[in-house]
Homo-oligomer: A and B are copies of this chain.
Amino acid sequence: MINTQSRVDTQQKPHILVCNDDGIEGEGIHALAAAMKKIGRVTVVAPAEPHSGKSHAMTLGTPLRIKKFLKNGRFFGYTVSGTPVDCIKVALSHILPSKPDLIVSGINYGSNTAINTIYSGTVAAALEGAIQGITSLAFSLTTYEHADFTYAGKFARKLAKKVLLEGLPPDTILSANIPNIPESQIAGIMITEQGRSRWEEDAIERNDMFGNPYYWLNGTLCLLDDTVRKDEFAVRQNYVAVTPISCDLTNHSYIHTLEQWNLQK
């Protein structure tokens, strides 16, 4: 496998762009930025508001604003008034003086395994980096509450260092899903495939004050496979799941069958 994305001279401190989909106030991006500051120069560009479930959406119909964001009175990073993918696009075209060496996205609240890979803004921000030819990683913690980013931050730093040395193939990121448990309970690090799952939809229907119905998306995640080489199953067994994710959506294995359909006729 030839790694075509640029490797970085390790003598020089790498420039790392940090993004997420929970928005700049999300706890996870602060843990990720802190972890990255130990190995590189960091620029944070994140959505001004939460954008969970926004996938690879970009903003075409309205303009975007860039603002500086302070943390405890000190400059922390930039907000963009759009989606995670907007953040990467605007960061590369208008905020950063040159292409960063690495893009990291997260640390997301909640796992981005199985079908959530395709809904995730965290994964999409990293994929947008890969599309632009930049080595990119996505990190997610498998919980929505009582989040402890200690081990996740440490693992993010380890994976970032490794990927800066090794590079990645074109259009491919690594998406890491990290169990929300102390390091001592981590079963290991597993290279995984995106599992199969689906949200069984159970949209809530209610009436507003005028008696008109409205609907609120809601559902239950149903796992459709259960081998430890699949991401969601691995994290449920306390493994860190590292999945190579690509923006090539072709089902290559079905090309030959389709050609037999003789659609020409």
Q: Which of B92, B203, B252, B257 contacts A90 (CB 8 A)?
A: B203
Give the residue name and chain of the B residue nearest to A189 (CB): B263
Of the candidate stretches A25-33, A116-124, A146-154, the one touching chain B is A116-124
A217 to B162, CA, bound (A): 33
Q: Are A203 and B93 in contact (CB under 8 A)?
A: yes
Q: Give min CB distance, A220 to chain B, whole Å.
A: 12
Give the residue name and chain of the B residue nearest to A175 (CB): B249
Q: Which of B124, B191, B243 contacts A55 (CB 8 A)?
A: B124
The 10 A-B pairs of least Cβ separation, nearest first, read A55-B56, A63-B214, A57-B57, A246-B251, A244-B251, A93-B201, A244-B254, A55-B55, A189-B263, A64-B215
A92 to B198, CA, bound (A): 13
Q: Are A58 and B217 in contact (CB under 8 A)?
A: yes
Q: Are A66 and B244 in contact (CB under 8 A)?
A: no
Q: Which of B86, B201, B250 contacts A193 (CB 8 A)?
A: B250
Give the residue name and chain of the B residue nearest to A128 (CB): B118
Q: Are A64 and B247 in contact (CB under 8 A)?
A: no
- A76-132 at interface with B (beta carbon < 8 Å): 83, 85-86, 89-90, 92-94, 115, 117-119, 124, 127, 131-132
Contact with B along A141-181 (1 / 0, CB 8 A): 00000000000000000110010001011111010000000
